[in-house]
Amino acid sequence: MKVIRPIQTSDYAALLDIANESGIGFTSLPVNEDLLTHKINQSVLSFAKDINEPCDESYLFVMEETDSGEVVGTSGIASTVGLDDAFYHYHLSKVVHASRELNIYNTVDILTLCNDYTGVSEICTLFLRQSAREGNNGRLLSKFRFLFMMEHAQRFSDTVIAEMRGISDDKGKSPFWQWLEEHFFSMDFPTADYLTGIGQKQFIAELMPKYPIYVSLLSKQAQAVIGKVHEKTKPALQLLEQEGFICRGYVDIFDGGPTVEANLKHIRTAQMSCKMAIQINDRLAVQGREYFAINTKIEEFRGVCTRLNIDDDQDIAYISQAAADALTLTEGQDIRFAPTTFRT
């Protein structure tokens, strides 16, 4: 069984392996010992905090195979972004150039540097190792976060965003960044991506063009990838779109990938989730349908995909002993759960 739990200091080696496998363009997991150690330590401290409102907490989770103890994936949530370091985006919008006398009316797309998402929560750092990409593992690694956020809503902003990885090739070349590099920077995409990942963002403010950029001035290759996602990111984007996330024109300043957003209470998994006490009954549990389920704890948080049999009249969820053990729960304790698929 795969179980989601908070990352621990002993998971460093596994996180480093995941960082290496994730490749260039996965900004939130650069291959850097100091940064990865800091991410783990910051997460451990965040889980230990007593929170009334979101601040600078960062929660990092891992997916573990219970039989072998192998860590096969990671997933994270930032309670807020942009409070300590500027959080940059380009916003894609339009301007109109018109002349009534000449009977000319032109609509032009522009990219404007902005910090509009300062203070919102972000789901991030989602990566599942190739060996574990089967069944509902990927969906669990993404969707359990909405259950966690709904259960502990005081720890997060009402608005939730996700930055989607944009298009780059196997060598880390981004068509969008290549145009910026040629005109404003003297560093390649992997270097800029790495510096951002380790928190050295001052070069953005120093070198990034301060005025809006006319999209028509970009290379054709750069124009073609604005708002598009990397091939490996398409399944993740599709999952978020099914949850109700939409793009409002914000794109990444390095690769042009889209940023999508939703209100926490309107995210479909969060909205459809229920909270009930459990009764352990293997026979009844196996007759139910599959759900993503979490316990309601913080430091001892656990999440799984399992079969539940729901008794709405008694407000009880029947669960197997194995699932209860994975969630570190005993009879009568609460779970929050949502269906793995949405019925239409």
Token pair, residue 59, equals 């929660």
Do residues 168 and 189 touch, judged by C-beta distance below 8 A? yes
Token pair, residue 166, equals 């944009």
DSSP string covering 245-282: -EEEEEE-TTT--EEEEEEGGGSHHHHH-EEEEEEE-H
Token pair, residue 182, equals 């040629």
> Tokens 């196996």 label which residue?
286
Q: Is 69 exposed, middle or buried (0-12, 13-18, 19+ CB in 10 A)?
A: exposed
Token pair, residue 286, equals 């196996």
What single DSSP character describes residue 244? T
Q: Is 308 exposed, middle or buried (0-12, 13-18, 19+ CB in 10 A)?
A: buried
- Hey, what amino acid is at 167? I
What single DSSP character describes residue 158? S
Q: Among all residues, which ones are annotated catalytic?
A: 230
Q: Which of 304, 340, 296, 310 is nearest to 325 (CA)?
A: 304
DSSP string covering 138-204: HHHHHHHHHHHHHHTGGGS-SEEEEEPP----TT---HHHHHHHHHT-SS-HHHHHHHHHTT--HHH
